[in-house]
Amino acid sequence: MKGVLFDLDGVIADTAVFHFAAWRKLVRDHFRAELPDELEEKTKGVSREDSLKVILDYLQLSVSDEEFAALAAEKNEAYVETLEDLKPAHILPGIADLISDFKQAGLKLGLASASKNGPIILDKLGLADAFDAIADPAKVAQGKPAPDIFLAAAAALNLQPADCVGLEDSVAGVTAINAAGMVSIGIGGAELAHASERFESTSDLSYPAIEAAWQANR
C-alpha cells in the first residue's frame, strides 16, 4: 500500500449534512416542497450537478439549462456560507490520528471528493498540508460512481490504482473505488456491503486495519 485516497464529506468531516440542508432550503425557496430524509443518500458523494438532477427527478420537474446553472450556483453559495464556522474540531473521530499515522508511515495522501470546495474545507480543518494531491472534480469526465476522480487522484500522486486504498461513506463512492481497481474501505452501514472492507464509523479505522484490508483484498 503506497497511497490512501480520501473522500471528504462524511469521511474527513461531516459536511454532508450541510449539503443536504442547503438543498432543502433551495427547494423550499423555489418550489415550496420538502425533501425526504431518504433522498440524502442519493445525493451523497456525487457532484452538485448530479445531486440537482436527482432532486429535480424526485420533484418531477424540468428546468432550462440557465435555471439549472443558477440553482446549482445558489445552492453552493448557501453551502459555502455554512462553512464559515468550520474548524478542526469538526474533523470526524479518529481521522486526524489516522492521517498522522499514514504520514509517519510515508504513505501519499490524496483527496478524491466530488466537492469543488475541497481545498477550502481542508484549509479550514487545518489539514491542507497533510494532502499530497487534490483531484479536481471539474476536470474529470464523469463523477462518481464512475472511477474517474479516484483515477485522477492516483495519477496526481504518481501511483498505480492497485497500490491505493480508497475511503468512502457513500454507495456511489465505494462503487467508484471498486471500478478504479483499488481496495475500497467503506465507512457506514450495510448499504456499503460491496466495499472490500467495511467499518461502522471513522472511529473504528486504524492504519493496521486498513493495511490488513489492503493485503487481504489486493
Question: For residues 184 and 174, is the Cβ–Cβ distance under 8 A?
Answer: yes
Closest CA to 99 of 137, 126, 136: 126
Residues spanned by CATH 3.40.50.1000 within the chain? 3-14+87-217
The verdict on whether residue 116 carries a ligand-binding annotation is yes
Average pLDDT, the chain: 94
Averaged pLDDT for residues 18-46 = 91
Q: Give the Cα-Cα-Cα angle 170, 191, 133 (nearest 5 degrees).
A: 25
Whether residue 132 lies in the annotated active site: no
The verdict on whether residue 7 carries a ligand-binding annotation is yes
CATH tag for 3-14+87-217 (out of 3.40.50.1000, 1.20.210.10, 3.50.50.60, 3.60.15.10): 3.40.50.1000
Q: Comparing 167 with 84, which gets the higher pLDDT?
A: 167
Q: How many CA atoms lie within 13 A of 163 on its CB side?
A: 13
Whether residue 9 lies in the annotated active site: yes
Question: For residues 173 and 150, is the Cβ–Cβ distance under 8 A?
Answer: no
The model's confidence at residue 104, banded by pLDDT at 50, 70 and 90, is: very high
Q: Quickly count: other Cβ atoms within 10 Å of residue 110's Cβ.
A: 25
Averaged pLDDT for residues 129-137 = 96
CATH tag for 16-85 (out of 3.20.20.140, 3.30.830.10, 1.10.40.60, 1.10.150.240): 1.10.150.240
What is residue 44's predicted lDDT score, i.e. its pLDDT? 81
The verdict on whether residue 76 carries a ligand-binding annotation is no
